[in-house]
Amino acid sequence: KLTAELHRCLTRPTAFEAVMRIRCTRGLKISQFHGHFFIRSTDLLALPNVDCDKAYAVQLEHEENVLTINNICIQCALLYTTSSGERRIRVHTIAVSVTPNLADLYKYADIDATLNLQARIAFEHGLVSKLEDARKMVQDQCIDALATYRTLCTTLSKAANQLIFPESLKHLPLYTLSLLKHPLFRPGEVPSDERMFLARQLSAMNATDAARFFYPRMYPIHKDMIHDDGGDSPSSSYHCVPLSQASLDPTGVFLLDDGMTIFVWVGNTVQPNLLLSLFQQPSVAHLHPEQMWLPQLENEVSQRVWLLIEQLRGKRGTWQAVHVVRQDDSTEAMTAFLLHLVEDKLASITTYQEFLTQIHRHIQMKL
């Protein structure tokens, strides 16, 4: 892990002594920045170094009540020094359509970007108040967003006894619950130094990595390892299953990736030929709980699994260690694995189905 992360840190393209300015069309203004930087002025950030593993979030707000134009532009200009000492400037400009229709706003919402910004804002709020206030903010934002959509963007009767989601935000309650159960926001036993470490990781994450950070992906590799369409993304060959113990088949092997660590869960009744292909062991009983690791073997099954692992590792700056856990283990790694199953009940925090019921009840009270 140290070797891989040090190599990436020393070899990735890095911009030094950088300053970044963000401009937007008249009628809008920048209200808040999130990330690692020093603010020199209202729209100028000082960045001692910046690379491909760093991401920044920016909040915009209206200066005028109504925008009368059809499009607005946002521009980011980065002035920096390369590793060879050359001074350069890089400019990105994006044009975004303006709509008076709130339904269009919901239609084109980005759930990953929403989760990333929501988590950053909530944790910063928790630093100046209480963790419970941050948790309440996350849940209230979910309720308000769905209640507004139901009130202003649907034609169904307000008395209809169902929870209505916009297609783009259909996973918003699930992501909200995963935020509440994450060590970053989970009350109780999480050490403060671990919580702050996770906060620092979040503050540099892009939207895709943050989605995996809060809601990990779990792949049933025993089912999908024979299918390969040649795609660059693991999701092109592997489908994900819900993060619940109900998804875990005792005859299967599952890989879980949270962006920081990779877990390989092995069921008690896995077929012997699959165990031989992955571990060179004839049965689960031969896997010692304190000495389990995933070897790289010269067979198709092992190579397919390791290809997935390398693809997952190659997408981010953090090199993920692989932990192998057996179904009935009581090890620390197994405990950590179970804490990622956010759709199940965790301590005082409800299951996903119970959480949906709570959200629905709060929305009904607002109507």
Taking residues 144-148, what's their average pLDDT?
Answer: 93
Output the pLDDT for position 235: 47
- C-alpha distances out from residue 65 to 62, 98, 104, Å: 7, 13, 18
pLDDT of residue 227: 47
Cα angle value 231/233/236 (rounded, 5°): 60
- Residue whose tokens read 């729209």: 43
SS3 track for 308-345: HHHHHHCCCCCCCEEEEEECCCCCHHHHHHHHCCCCCC
Residue 248 has pLDDT above 60, yes or no: yes
Cβ burial 297-307 (10 Å sphere, 16+ → b, else e): beeebbebbbe
- pTM exceeds 0.75 for this model: yes
Q: How high is the pLDDT of residue 226?
A: 45
Q: Which residue has the tokens 């890089």?
A: 90
State how far the Cα of 332 lies from the Cα of 312, in Å rounded to an integer: 23
pLDDT at 205: 92
Average pLDDT, the chain: 88
**What mean pLDDT comes out for the span 274-297?**
83
DSSP summary character for residue 351 = P
Burial class for 308, CB neighbours closer than 10 Å (0-12, 13-18, 19+): buried
End-to-end CA distance of the chain: 52
